[in-house]
Structures are given as C-alpha cells and as structure tokens.
Amino acid sequence: MAETFYYCLAHRAVETADTTCRAEDRLGPYASRAQAEQALESVAERNEAWDNDPRWNDDVEPDGDDGPR
C-alpha cells in the first residue's frame, strides 16, 4: 500500500499516517508529500471558490438585493 501524507495544523508540518496527531488537527490524506505541503494553499483556493460560487452564496437575496446597508 502506498504511503499517505497529512498536513498537521498543530505542528504546521507534513506527517505520515503513523504519527500520533489527532485527526481533528490534520488535513488529508494526500498521495504525495508535495500535495500535503500545499494543503493550506489548496484549502484557501477551495474556500475562495466556494465563497464566490453563486449556488452557495447565502448573503445575496434571489432578487440581487443583499439587504440594508
């Protein structure tokens, strides 16, 4: 079986599956160390895409009016 990698938020480091870090503190699994090293960038890109996806934007009313300012 191929080795899997995780990005540990507590240690801010790439780790393998045999570490004792809590699952709540890890992102992954990733197929390569390089992918795990880019975990935070991947999360930021995904969050940006979701924040700007009109299908998931709850801040705007259907008529385009986002309410009082």
Q: What average pLDDT is seen over the chain?
A: 86
Question: Does the pLDDT value for residue 59 go beyond 80?
Answer: no
Q: What is the pLDDT averaged over residues 6-35?
A: 94
Q: What's the pLDDT score for residue 64?
A: 58
**Confidence band for 1, pLDDT divided at 50, 70 and 90:** low
Residues 7 and 16: their CA atoms lie apart, in Å, by: 9
**Confidence band for 62, pLDDT divided at 50, 70 and 90:** low
By the 8 A CB rule, do 27 and 10 touch?
no
- pTM for the full model? 0.71
Report cis status (omega within 30 of 0) of the bond before 29. Answer: yes
| DSSP secondary structure letters along 5-65 | EEEETTTTEEEETTS---GGGEEEEESSHHHHHTHHHHHHHHHHHHHT-GGG-TTS-TTS-
